[in-house]
Structure 1
Amino acid sequence: MPPTDENPIPSVWTRPRRQREQLSREQIVSEAVKLLDAEGIEALSMRRLGTRLGAGATSLYRHVANKDELIELVVDEVYGELEVPDADGPQGWRAAVGGSAYSLRSMALRHPWVASVLGQVGLVHLGPNVMRMSDRMLAVFEAAGFPPEETDQAMSTLVAYVIGMATSEAAYLSLIARSGKDERELMESLRPSAEQAVRDHPRLREGHVAQRGKDPQQLREANFDYGLQRVLDGLEARLGRKDG
């Protein structure tokens, strides 16, 4: 669908949905998510997806105009997995926001291709699951006491932190998967090289020694939580400075 003055950005969310009996949009999206999870964004093509569905690419084009529209749909699909707890008044906002952050991180690690496509195609923010999640998170920040004009900024700050951390973490976990080792085995195999590399850097060496023998998954989770708590500290401090 080419851009027009009324529709300047082509998007699956800005045109009527076709209703077909033999192959549904839901089937297409479900299979696309499986393909992406198994093989990554580079493997996704309309032809490849059509083959997996036992249909020609032409059948898919009746539901989505191009690959970008398909990506809009799969992103919205996985956002449907998020859980945003309710805030029990102003005192419960921090736990609710923290729970939302952990849910978003978990989703991004289950679907490591997500971070690479956010903001790059179409109008992802218009997807029903993305909008539902955003509205619930805005309600939590509103319950916390943020003024209406600041709730979106607070939410965007949180999401940016989570997606940034999850992107690096997902890339690291993909490296581990390609190595054929589990995380502990890979870290142990790299230990001699790491110790050699930090030998002339005392601060790095001290940190490396402090982490020796610790569960790498627990270290990753602790690093994520440290940054999350500092973001929440900053937002909490902001609640006392609504005038500026």
Structure 2
Amino acid sequence: MPRDTLTRDQIVRAAIALLDEEGLEGLNMRALGKRLGSAATAVYWHVGSKDNLISLAGDRVWAELTLPDAAPGPDGWREAAEATAVGVHGMLARHPWLVQAFGAHLMFGPGKARHDDHILGLYEGAGFTPAEADQAAAAVLTFVLGNALGPAAAAALSRKLARDGADSQAQLAEGMARAREVASRYPRLRARLDAPDAATHGADYGSAPDHTFAFGLHALLDGLTAHLASKR
């Protein structure tokens, strides 16, 4: 596709699809140009650099979010804040490369700014001071990002194993067996490894128990709700 027939929007959409399939490590201008039927130089002309393209793609997926307003009533802000956090968690699950990008790329743009402004409005509308709203928003977002790290790492590992083949699969199995052997030396970890419902309790090395995200989010919002009540 010639340079003058490409658009930035086409490039960003194609980049998101490639990132979803291959992760950050799979994104390069040559592969993206091939997907678009264009030369890599034409892609560069529209987006400037790979780093800028990642920022554009990241902001585009932030724009996917539905941002609910607070319903009437004292708990309306909490329900909207919870729904927003669940939405961000789902967005990161659909695009796990974004978690990787946060560690190495500046993430900004109208999509993320729209989310940030909305969530601050929810907390300020509930009665938090602007400074408290900043802290609450940061605490919840950090919690959501932390819970997205495991699935993002698992997705990256799956891609690596698929690329490297049987040797990597064998190395992973050996590493998991060693991890279980070390954990079995400690009584509480051993009890969980040996339990009939071990998978439910996250006994696999590095995994979290079922419903961990919902449990933690409710606990965090309980704390914010209690803080707000103490001010009244």
Range into which the TM-score falls when normalised by the shorter chain: 0.7 to 0.9
SS in structure 2 of the partner of residue 172 of structure 1: helix
Q: Of 55, 65, 70, which aligns to 1:72?
A: 55
* Worse-matched range after superposition: 201-210 or 108-117: 201-210
Structure 2 CA distance for partners of 1:75 and 1:192, relative to 1, 3 Å: closer
Q: Is residue 210 of structure 2 the alignment partner of residue 228 of structure 1?
A: no
What does residue 167 of structure 1 align with? Answer: 149
Structure 2 CA distance for partners of 1:119 and 1:52, relative to 1, 3 Å: same
* Worse-matched range after superposition: 52-61 or 190-199: 190-199
- 1:34-45 equivalences under 5 Å are 34-45=17-28
Structure 2 CA distance for partners of 1:178 and 1:220, relative to 1, 3 Å: farther
C-alpha distance in structure 2 between counterparts of 1:98 and 1:136, whole Å:
13
What does residue 198 of structure 2 align with? Answer: 212
Q: Is residue 60 of structure 2 the alignment partner of residue 60 of structure 1?
A: no
8 A Cα contact 2:201 2:210, kept in partner: no
Q: Is residue 138 of structure 2 the alignment partner of residue 153 of structure 1?
A: no
Q: Which runs of 5+ in 2 are unaligned?
A: 163-172, 203-207
C-alpha distance in structure 1 between counterparts of 2:45 and 2:177, whole Å:
56
C-alpha distance in structure 1 between counterparts of 2:130 and 2:215, whole Å:
28
What does residue 78 of structure 2 align with? Answer: 94
Structure 2 CA distance for partners of 1:23 and 1:107, relative to 1, 3 Å: same
SS in structure 2 of the partner of residue 88 of structure 1: coil
Q: Is residue 81 of structure 2 the alignment partner of residue 136 of structure 1?
A: no
C-alpha distance in structure 2 between counterparts of 1:128 and 1:178, whole Å:
33
8 A Cα contact 1:105 1:162, kept in partner: yes
SS in structure 2 of the partner of residue 120 of structure 1: coil
8 A Cα contact 1:32 1:49, kept in partner: yes
C-alpha distance in structure 1 between counterparts of 2:115 and 2:229, whole Å:
26
State the TM-score, normalized to the length of structure 1: 0.75
Q: Is residue 126 of structure 2 the alignment partner of residue 121 of structure 1?
A: no
C-alpha distance in structure 2 between counterparts of 1:237 and 1:192, whole Å:
44
8 A Cα contact 2:18 2:27, kept in partner: yes
Cα distance, 1:177 vs. partner?
6.8
Cα distance, 1:96 vs. partner?
1.4
C-alpha distance in structure 2 between counterparts of 1:168 and 1:23, whole Å:
36
C-alpha distance in structure 2 between counterparts of 1:169 and 1:40, whole Å:
13
8 A Cα contact 2:100 2:152, kept in partner: no
- For residue 205 of structure 1, what is the amino acid of its counterpart? R
Structure 2 CA distance for partners of 1:36 and 1:131, relative to 1, 3 Å: same
How many pairs are equivalent? 212
8 A Cα contact 1:108 1:167, kept in partner: no
Q: Please list the CA deviations of residues 40-73 of structure 1 after superposition, one character each: whole Å capped at 9, or x if unmatched.
A: 1011122221122111122122221111110110
8 A Cα contact 2:200 2:209, kept in partner: no
Q: Which structure has more helix as a fraction of its residues?
A: 2
8 A Cα contact 2:23 2:156, kept in partner: no
C-alpha distance in structure 1 between counterparts of 2:102 and 2:62, whole Å:
11
C-alpha distance in structure 1 between counterparts of 2:156 and 2:41, whole Å:
33
C-alpha distance in structure 1 between counterparts of 2:52 and 2:160, whole Å:
30
SS in structure 2 of the partner of residue 85 of structure 1: coil
Q: Of 38, 42, 66, which aligns to 1:83?
A: 66
C-alpha distance in structure 2 between counterparts of 1:220 and 1:84, whole Å:
28
Cα distance, 1:133 vs. partner?
1.3
